[in-house]
């Protein structure tokens, strides 16, 4: 049997955006990609660099870091400019180590105080919607990956697929009461590397 015949056969609809299907991963930063707090030393979590290379370079997904670093996180003597510079420096290190260009990894960033009523603070979907505008992708081709219930709910609120990693953050630590109507994630895995292996092995239909 020839190689062509043995592959799954797809009949694409003829609209322009479905001729070039684009998968997108929106990824939380703290406790999903890295260990460490804003404007302080940090390290990548195990397997993150290799998984990013697989996701973006091998599988051709777009990836956006969607992160909020509100004033309470910045640490003594730092401002929102430092917070953004800190995220940018992590993106640069991730790109370098994963054999990518920095521009291959999008950043969508909120530094607002959540009490200011900003619409981009997860679980609000504003930051995710902004990221989807930047990176493209239809709703059913976009995943939100994060370690907290607020990441998962932001994904649900944006109408995309959701993946929780690790211990689901606040549930285990009990630092924030769970909201009414919390919906479980579509997928719940130990870490980002496992998430990438699973979502990239899906067959597009
Ligand atoms: Mg997090
Ligand atoms: Zn905001």
The confidence band for 7, taking pLDDT boundaries of 50, 70 and 90, is: very low
Residues with C-beta atoms within 5 A of ion ligand 2: 110, 112, 118, 120-121
Mean residue pLDDT of the chain comes to 85
**Residue 12 placed within a domain:** no
Cα 16 to middle of ligand 2, angstroms: 33
**Residue 162 placed within a domain:** yes
**Residue 63 placed within a domain:** yes
**Residue 91 placed within a domain:** yes
Considering every ligand atom shown, identify the ligand nearest to the alpha carbon of residue 71 and give its number.
Answer: 2
**Residue 139 placed within a domain:** yes
pTM of the predicted model as reported, rounded to 2 decimal places:
0.85
Give dist(CA 55, CA 139) in Å, integer: 18
- The tokens describing 6, both together, are 């043995």
**Residue 11 placed within a domain:** no
**Residue 10 placed within a domain:** no
Considering every ligand atom shown, identify the ligand nearest to the alpha carbon of residue 80 and give its number.
Answer: 2
pLDDT in tens, 35-49: 999 999 999 999 999
**Residue 84 placed within a domain:** yes
Q: pLDDT: is 12 or 115 the higher one?
A: 115
Greatest CA span in the chain, whole angstroms? 66
Considering every ligand atom shown, identify the ligand nearest to the alpha carbon of residue 116 and give its number.
Answer: 2
Looking up residue 168, the CATH number of its domain turns out to be 3.40.50.1000
Number of structural domains the chain divides into: 1
Considering every ligand atom shown, identify the ligand nearest to the alpha carbon of residue 110 and give its number.
Answer: 2
Cα 8 to middle of ligand 1, angstroms: 37
Q: Could you list the residue range(s) of the whole structural domain that residue 161 is in?
A: 20-199
> For residue 19, what pLDDT is reported?
40
């Amino acid at each position: 049997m020839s190689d062509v015949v043995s592959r799954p056969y797809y009949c694409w609809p003829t609209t322009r955006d479905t001729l070039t299907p684009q998968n997108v991963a929106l990824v939380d930063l703290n406790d999903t990609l890295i260990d460490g707090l804003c404007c302080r030393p940090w390290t990548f979590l195990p397997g993150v660099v290799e998984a990013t290379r697989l996701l973006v370079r091998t599988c051709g997904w777009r990836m956006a870091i969607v992160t909020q670093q509100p004033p309470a996180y910045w640490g003594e003597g730092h401002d929102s400019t430092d917070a953004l510079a800190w995220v940018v420096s992590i993106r640069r290190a991730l790109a370098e180590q994963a054999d990518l260009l920095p521009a291959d990894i999008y950043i969508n960033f909120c530094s607002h105080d959540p009490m200011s009523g900003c619409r981009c603070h997860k679980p609000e979907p504003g930051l995710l919607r902004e990221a989807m505008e930047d990176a493209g992708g239809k709703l059913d081709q976009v995943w939100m990956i994060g370690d907290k219930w607020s990441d998962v709910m932001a994904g649900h609120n944006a109408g995309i697929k959701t993946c929780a990693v690790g211990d689901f953050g606040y549930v285990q630590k009990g630092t924030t009461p769970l909201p009414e109507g919390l919906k479980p994630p579509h997928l719940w895995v130990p870490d980002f590397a496992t998430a990438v292996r699973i979502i990239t092995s899906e067959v597009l239909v």
